[in-house]
Amino acid sequence: MEVVFRSDTGKKRKNNQDFVGYFINKKNIILAILCDGMGGHRGGDVASEMAVSHLGHSWEESDLQDAEQITQWMLTRISLENKRILEKSRQFSDLEGMGTTLVAAALVNNEFVIANIGDSRGYHYTAGRLNQVTEDHSLVNELVKSGEISLEAAENHPRKNVLTRSLGVTEEIDIDVTILPALPNDQMLLCSDGLTNMVKDQDIKNILSAQKSAQEKVETLIAMANERGGYDNITIILVHTKTEGGDNNHGKGEETERPL
């Protein structure tokens, strides 16, 4: 098992509102979490860090080791975190309107359990194929699904960043959870839209299929997104099933972790 993550501010933004980390529970099961915050001059980074840190701490205290149990845990804990973010945004005027996307993946008993809300994505690379396993909860994706616009038109749509689901905005939320088989040498890539708005799926597939270390793949993807504009924060966490072991880590990749 190998897990590598990095978060980069990009070329245009002054602040990084993404947050990412991975955590290990009492049964040695890994949970990777990535959030892309939004709202206010500091609300987005507060919301994203709250979600990752609180869920990660709860995960470390758990002893879950079954995909169905983990699914229920994700639904319950993510909903609880939604209410926490909403409550904090109501308490402090400078945090009003804050929220965050979330994508998380646990690897247990040769299965990936993936939860998501918003437009941060999960990709599964297996047997030479790259599959997007999450659905973007965005206005543009709804327009594509309804046939109102094409995939090509969606790439440059002026309302591309409008989300239909996120954490911290409404009292009740709808979370997607997917369970997939995890084979030897599989890769699960979680990323913010700072990557996918700059780098096409085919390029992501080419990099994941290369004979490089997980660290090199993550660095290459970050560099490619920046070379193509780097208009947003770029955050990636890559889980590779090929090796055993791993340490508990959390924070903004190479950036300084901020306490709540």
pLDDT digits (tens, 9 = 90+) for 175-184: 999 999 999 9
d(CA 108, CA 28): 9
pLDDT at 40: 64
What's residue 253's pLDDT?
44
> Tell me, what's the pLDDT at 249?
45
Residue 137: partners with Cβ closer than 8 Å, 6 or more residues away = 116, 117, 118, 119, 163, 164, 165, 166, 176
- Crossing angle of helices 43-60 and 67-91, in 10° steps, is 140
Domain ranges of the chain: 13-191
Residue-by-residue pLDDT tens, the chain, 260 positions: 899 999 999 999 999 999 999 999 999 999 999 999 998 667 999 999 999 999 999 999 999 999 999 999 999 999 999 999 999 999 999 999 999 999 999 999 999 999 999 999 999 999 999 999 999 998 887 888 888 877 767 777 767 778 999 999 999 999 999 999 999 999 999 999 999 999 999 999 999 999 999 999 999 999 999 999 999 999 999 999 974 433 444 454 443 332 22
Q: What is the pTM of this model?
A: 0.91
- Coil, helix or strand at residue 79: helix
Q: How far apart are CA 221 and CA 227, in angstroms?
A: 10
Sheet containing 121-126: which strands, arranged edge to edge? 2-8, 234-240, 187-191, 121-126, 129-132
In this predicted structure, what is the pLDDT of residue 158?
65
Backbone angles phi, psi at 223, to 5 degrees: -65, -40
Tell me which residue has tokens 């919301």: 47
Fold designation for 13-191: Phosphatase 2c; domain 1 (3.60.40)
